[in-house]
Amino acid sequence: MVLGLLAFWLVSAPRPLPASAVPAHTANAANGQLLYNAGGCKSCHKPNPDVAGLDSSLPSGGAPFKTPIGTLYPPNLTPDIETGIGAWSDIEFVNAVQRGISKDSQHLIPAFPYTSYARMPVADVLDIRAYLMSLPPVASPKRDAGVPLAFILRRGLGLWKWISLDTTAWMPDTTQSEGWNRGSYLVNGPGHCGECHTPRNLFMASDTSRFLMGGPHPEGVGKVPSLHKLIESKRYKDAADLVLAFQNGESFGYEHMSAGGMGQVQSNLAKLPQGDLEAIAYYLTSFK
């Protein structure tokens, strides 16, 4: 029993990246803004709706985010020193976004899609940080998760990560074109499309054998469609039609860009450069 507890404690301990994982890098805030939009950070880190006068365009955090285990309040990503990321070091930010470990060394709940962000090059994560640091600071204190036994759950997540957190970096497929690879990167890394579109196995890890084939909605209600055969099944005329769907969404009659979170994803995708949307559409329509 004691040995079992000891083993649990050791295996479930957070395993942060060392400070040496941060490369020498001149941050590019414009690239950071693009990845921030592709990553949908603002969709979850919205301002607390109970506080009047907050700028809704800033990710000051505190809005409720419902999950099957309870309500979470994605925290403040503005550079406020007291309540935001203003006093965080590069490595603290990288460990939160790529390993799901908070500044005070606790496991973060994977409703925050760090399992996908883990696949990004560290330099891209530093660019997102540079973009966030360029925003005006907003004071917006952290709200505690409405999750029973959050402390034990957080520690137990260490075990889950041991089984389910794949930290291999995204790699280009050298047999494919540059456009296909750009699409693959945006979908698998920042875009975290698989977090909803790939079903999960018994361990609640992405079932890579059914990559982007759709399944039950991770928030517990409804279904997420497969992203295979988007053209063959006549849902889109061609890749250009899919680009129009990403740019214009439901209001243009693309009715599968609405419910269950896709409407928000679509409004973030609409901010990406045309070339990046073409890359995503080209990549997705290669799945037969």
> Where do contacts with ligand HEC occur on this chain (CB under 6 A)?
36, 39-41, 43-45, 65, 72, 74-75, 77, 93, 96-97, 102-103, 108-109, 111-113, 117, 128, 145, 187, 191-193, 195-197, 217, 224-225, 227, 235, 256-262, 265, 269, 280
Find the shortest distance in angstroms from Cβ 53 to ligand HEC: 22
Nearest 5 degrees, angle CA 242-CA 194-CA 175? 70
Find the shortest distance in angstroms from Cβ 145 to ligand HEC: 5
Answer whether 193's CB lies under 8 Å from 227's CB: yes
Q: Of the two residues 3 and 256, which places its CB atom closer to ligand HEC in the complex? A: 256
Structure-token pair, residue 70: 């309870």
Answer whether 283's CB lies under 8 Å from 272's CB: no
Structure-token pair, residue 65: 């985010």
Find the shortest distance in angstroms from Cβ 203 to ligand HEC: 19
How far is residue 288's CA from residue 279's CA, in Å, rounded to a whole number? 17
Q: Of the two residues 54 and 72, which places its CB atom closer to ligand HEC in the complex? A: 72
Find the shortest distance in angstroms from Cβ 154 to ligand HEC: 7
Q: What are phi and psi of 271, to 5 degrees?
A: -85, -5
How far is residue 9's CA from residue 154's CA, in Å, rounded to a whole number? 12
Answer whether 95's CB lies under 8 Å from 146's CB: no
Q: Of the two residues 6 and 71, which places its CB atom closer to ligand HEC in the complex? A: 71
Residue 244's CB is within 10 A of a number of other CB atoms, namely: 16
Find the shortest distance in angstroms from Cβ 215 to ligand HEC: 10
Q: Of the two residues 7 and 237, which places its CB atom closer to ligand HEC in the complex? A: 237
Contacts of residue 207, defined as CB under 8 A and 6 or more positions apart, other chains included, come to 198, 199, 200, 201
Q: Of the two residues 44 and 138, which places its CB atom closer to ligand HEC in the complex? A: 44
Q: Of the two residues 2 and 253, which places its CB atom closer to ligand HEC in the complex? A: 253
Find the shortest distance in angstroms from Cβ 2 to ligand HEC: 29
